[in-house]
């Protein structure tokens, strides 16, 4: 009778996913409440097995901790999105926006690398730039808004920077301004111009805008 009861219990245990129990010693009674607690515990544990670590972590953090974790993830997502947007907007720029901090910062770096040697770190140009040079060879002009550069429109400044000054000068005039086509992407040139214009006073930018309209009209 005892063996038959053990076989039945073992079959039921296998159906429930439990390990077969070790046979009890003859005469030993089984506590029904203890067995019931074991079955209930097994039912509670099995469904949460896959997400148990996250569940335990959530319980340990509590409401405030979970809120902080979500806030951190949202902050990281916003930061990464902002970085991506700034990079994309800089790489696809088709104009010089002196009010765009990301474009101006990129232009500042590129200016220091490619332009400061000739035009100066303070954009003041080289001494003697305002002299008389009928055959060319004029020293680099200032880019701080005090010279003739501020009378050119943005597209003119872009073309001179990209292709150099010689294509836009008389054949007998030697223009030493080099072109940066092949060395700088178009968006990089626009960034440099954005940085240059960010150093101009507001009235200079307005004069440049009006002069560009007159040249186009």
Instruction: Select, from the ranges 45-59, 104-118, 134-148, 197-211, the one with the highest average predicted confidence (pLDDT).
Output: 104-118
Q: Domain spans of the chain?
A: 2-45, 59-92, 96-216
H/E element, 6: helix 2-15
Q: Is the pLDDT of residue 26 over 80?
A: no
152 closest CA partner among 200, 119, 92: 200
pLDDT of 62: 75
**Residue-wise pLDDT tens digits, 44-80:** 444 444 455 656 766 776 776 766 666 665 665 555 5
**Vertex 90: Cα angle to 151 and 77 (nearest 5):** 145
Is residue 126 left, alpha or beta, with left meaning phi > 0 and alpha meaning psi from -120 to 50?
beta
Instruction: Select, from the ranges 8-12, 59-63, 100-104, the one with the highest average predicted confidence (pLDDT).
Output: 100-104
pLDDT of 88: 45
Tell me the percentage of the chain whose pLDDT exceeds 90. 50
* CATH, domain range 96-216: 1.10.760.10
The better pLDDT of the pair 71, 128 is held by 128
Q: Helices marked H in 16-153 — which ranges?
A: 32-45, 52-91, 101-114, 116-119
Please give the Cα distance from 96 to 208 (Å, whole number).
13
Question: Half-sphere exposure of residue 21, counting CA atoms within 13 Å on the CB side?
Answer: 17
């Amino acid at each position: 009778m005892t063996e038959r009861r053990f076989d039945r219990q073992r079959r039921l245990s296998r159906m429930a996913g439990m390990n077969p129990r070790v046979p009890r010693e003859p005469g030993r009674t089984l506590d029904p409440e203890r067995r019931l607690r074991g079955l209930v515990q097994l039912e509670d544990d099995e469904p949460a097995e896959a997400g148990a670590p996250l569940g335990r972590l959530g319980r340990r953090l509590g409401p405030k901790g979970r809120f902080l974790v979500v806030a951190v993830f949202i902050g990281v997502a916003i930061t990464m999105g902002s970085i991506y947007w700034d990079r994309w907007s800089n790489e696809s720029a088709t104009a010089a926006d002196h009010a765009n901090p990301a474009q101006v910062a990129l232009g500042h770096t590129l200016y220091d690398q490619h332009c400061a040697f000739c035009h100066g770190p303070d954009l003041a140009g080289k001494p003697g730039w305002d002299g008389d040079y009928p055959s060319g060879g004029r020293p680099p002009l200032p880019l701080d808004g005090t010279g003739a550069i501020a009378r050119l429109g943005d597209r003119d400044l872009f073309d001179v920077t990209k292709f150099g000054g010689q294509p836009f000068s008389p054949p007998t005039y030697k223009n030493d301004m080099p072109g940066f086509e092949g060395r700088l992407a178009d968006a990089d040139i626009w960034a440099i111009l954005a940085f240059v214009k960010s150093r101009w006073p507001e009235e200079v930018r307005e004069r440049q805008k009006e002069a560009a309209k007159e040249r186009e009209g």
